[in-house]
Structure 1
């Protein structure tokens, strides 16, 4: 992935990501994870479940992006069980035992 700067005269591209407080913020770098605002979950950008939902015409209006997993968790989102099964299992075990992750 290239993070090249724009050629002189081209506008700099800005991406809207959610920050750790759950509020949108501008970033010159695209997010590495996607999420669903209403479902409060995050996953890989190539998640098969999210891509199926998008293909059916769902999900897009509530789609959000995160710089990294730490930010997604801080914003109150949980890992996707489909594309992040190990992270989801850890989240679920911590939730069931009452410990924070």
Structure 2
């Protein structure tokens, strides 16, 4: 399962160190977080992969956007 933040439209793993760090800092991050059943649903909703916890998927996404 994947989780995300609606403002940046990034999806990633629930154990992502960047997301956990943002949660620990507090602020509005937690209130903007949404959850998806799987990666396909996140992609169809217009979200992109997290570069921190999903570097391979992010590289592929970035390559499709620039190439």
Sort the TM-score into its range (normalised by shorter chain).
Answer: over 0.9
Matched, 1:77 2:47: yes
Match of 2:37 in 1: 67
Whichever of the two has the greater Rg, that structure is: 1
Please give the root-mean-square deviation of Cα atoms over the aligned residues, in Å: 0.6
Gaps of 5+ in 1: 1-31
Match of 2:26 in 1: 57
TM-score, normalised on structure 2?
0.96
Match of 2:11 among 39, 42, 45: 42
Misfit runs of 4+, over 6 Å? none
Gaps of 5+ in 2: none
Query: Which of structures 1 and 2 has the larger relative contact order (alpha carbons within 8 angstroms, sep 6+)?
Result: 2
Cα deviation digits, residues 47-76 of structure 1 (max 9, x gap): 000000000003101000000000000000
TM-score, normalised on structure 1?
0.64
